[in-house]
């Protein structure tokens, strides 16, 4: 966990990867309960709120990033989570979003634990939407803020979510925060168990 580093950069860092709002609107009814896992300062929760979604919760392990989010968006529900675990019973959320979170989790074993935890709290037939930077040749590096980053291969990310039924899996050209070209996986899956 890189929580200390996240806390130390919480007021300086900005994020830019975008969820797929077009497909999201097609697939996700407005009354759905939505969890934004690793919500940062509430950027995506704010987008969803502006689209008319009302039942949105954001959790993030960095207390300082959550504090920033709560100051910026007092109308949103953003809470600190203590570790990778989601403090809710199983079958709780209709929809879970993961946006640029696994990119910042270098350990593959922790990535797997996060996905299992998401599966646990997602209702049967619930939807997971994952948007993550990726690279055809996996890349491990430190961001300019000192965060350990991992751009996994698209195949690795696909395998990671293979317990869900794939609805869509695309790899798109995106820009990093520094304006560099990069790839990102845009995935929707269904909890069919
Ligand atoms: C690159 S930021 C993306 C934030 C947000 N999803 C966005 O796109 O605006 C990654 C976030 O994941 C959080 N994070 C990392 N590991 C986490 C974990 N195991 N559980 C919850 N949040 C985590 C970090 O604190 C950080 O705020």
State whether the Cα torsion 160-161-167-168 is positive or negative: negative
Residue 128 burial by CB count (10 A; 0-12/13-18/19+): exposed, middle or buried? Answer: buried
Strands 93-99 and 34-37 come out as parallel
Does residue 137 carry a pLDDT above 90?
A: yes
Residue 193 and residue 143 in contact, taking contact as beta carbons nearer than 8 Å: no
> What's the pLDDT score for residue 45?
98
Q: Name the residue with the closest Cα to ligand 1, atom 4.
A: 40
The alpha carbon of 62 and the centre of ligand 1 are apart by a number of angstroms equal to 8
Percent of the chain clearing pLDDT 70 (strictly above): 99
- Output 88 or 177, whichever has higher pLDDT: 88
Nearest to 69, CA basis, from 50, 44, 42: 42
pLDDT digit string, tens, across residues 7-39: 999 999 999 999 999 999 999 999 999 999 999
The alpha carbon of 43 and the centre of ligand 1 are apart by a number of angstroms equal to 11
pLDDT digit string, tens, across residues 79-134: 999 999 999 999 999 999 999 999 999 999 999 999 999 999 999 999 999 999 99
Most ligand 1 atoms within 8 A of CB, residue of 61, 84, 150 to mutate: 61
Most ligand 1 atoms within 8 A of CB, residue of 10, 12, 36, 40 to mutate: 40
Does residue 172 carry a pLDDT above 90?
A: yes
Residue 131 and residue 19 in contact, taking contact as beta carbons nearer than 8 Å: yes
193 pLDDT tier (thresholds 50, 70, 90):
confident
CB-ligand 1 contact for 70 (6 Å cutoff): no
Structural domains of the chain ordered from first start: 33-190 (3.40.50.150)
Nearest to 127, CA basis, from 187, 185, 76: 187
67's tokens: 């504090």
């Amino acid at each position: 966990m890189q929580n200390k580093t996240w806390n130390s950069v919480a007021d300086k860092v900005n994020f830019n990867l975008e969820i797929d709002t077009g497909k999201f609107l097609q697939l996700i009814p407005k009354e759905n309960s939505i969890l934004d896992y690793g919500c940062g300062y509430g950027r995506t929760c704010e987008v969803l709120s502006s689209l008319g979604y009302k039942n949105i919760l954001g959790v993030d392990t960095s207390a300082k990033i959550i504090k920033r989010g709560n100051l910026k968006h007092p109308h949103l529900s953003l809470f600190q989570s203590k570790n990778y675990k989601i403090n809710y019973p199983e079958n709780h959320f209709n929809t879970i979003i993961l946006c640029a979170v696994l990119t910042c989790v270098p350990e593959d074993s922790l990535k797997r634990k996060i996905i299992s935890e998401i599966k646990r709290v997602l209702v049967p037939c619930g939807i997971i939407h994952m948007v993550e930077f990726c690279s055809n040749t996996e890349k491990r590096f430190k961001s300019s803020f000192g965060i350990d980053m991992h751009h996994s291969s698209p195949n690795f990310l696909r395998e990671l979510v293979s317990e869900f039924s794939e609805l869509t899996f695309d790899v798109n050209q995106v820009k990093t925060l520094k304006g560099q070209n990069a790839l990102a996986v845009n995935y929707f899956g269904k909890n069919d168990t």
